[in-house]
Amino acid sequence: MDFITRFVDQPMLHGASRALKLWHERSRRSPDQLAPLWALIVITCLLTLSWWLLSGISSLFAVATLVTLSFPPAWKLMAGPRRRSYDARAYRALAAIAVRRRETEWVVRVLVLFISACLPLIARVDDPAGQFFVIGSAIWFVMTIPANVYLAAAEPPKPTDGDEVFSRRRAVAAA
């Protein structure tokens, strides 16, 4: 178990934390908006592939499925407050949730990675449209579910403004 934690789980958590930090530094948005945006990007790529590879009723079925999958992340992005700032209070809340998830859900994260690795190899279908659907759902699962799990458990970036305690710590660390 120590091997899995040290060489699989911890590097994935550090990578997710780095992705959250880069997202926050470049976009100046809250880190909790990265996972729904990533899901929409993956769904858009799958939507493009479905229009390109499928035709007829199977294409309409694939498009309807992907549009249905896009509702939860789109709702999460649009339903939130427009000008919500990422300050020390939001950082503390996200950090507390991340610590709880890191400590209690590590088996779930490793299991999701294992399923993501095995799912494309296990699923086989004889029908070409069904085969594209299974491949698309496997790609969606592999690209979104592990990202969501690790982004939720990663350490969020420190806010760039807000609480004076963070500003003083940053000033002392720089000196």
**DSSP string spanning the chain?**
-HHHIIIIIHHHHHHHHHHHHHHHHHH-S-GGGHHHHHHHHHHHHHHHHHHHH--THHHHHHHHHHHHHHHHHHHHHHHS-TT----HHHHHHHHHHHHHHHHH-HHHHHHHHHHHHHHHHH---SSHHHHHHHHHHHHHHHHHHHHHHHHHHSPPPPPSSS-HHHHHHHHHHH-
Residue 20 within any structural domain of the chain: no
Residue 90 in any domain: the answer is yes
- Inside any domain, residue 167: no
Domain-embedded: residue 7: no
Q: Return the pLDDT at 115.
A: 86
39-94 tens-digit pLDDT: 999 999 999 998 888 888 888 988 999 999 999 999 998 886 655 678 888 899 99
Within a domain: residue 16?
no
Render pLDDT for 77-89 as a digit per residue (tens, 0 to 9): 888 665 567 888 8
The number of distinct structural domains making up the chain is: 1
Q: Is the pLDDT of residue 166 over 70?
A: no
In a domain, 122, yes or no: yes
Residue 119 lies in a domain: yes
Find all residues with CB under 8 Å of 154, minimum gap 6, and list them.
13, 14, 16, 17, 19, 20, 98
Is residue 165 in a domain? no
- Global pTM reads 0.79
113-135, pLDDT tens digit by residue? 888 888 777 766 777 777 888 88
State how far the Cα of 67 lies from the Cα of 11, in Å rounded to an integer.
33
Return the pLDDT at 130. 76
Alpha carbon distance 77, 98 (integer Å)? 20
Higher pLDDT, 20 or 162: 20
Residue span of the structural domain in which 76 resides = 30-156
**pLDDT of 99 higher than 80:** yes
On average, the pLDDT of the chain sits at 84
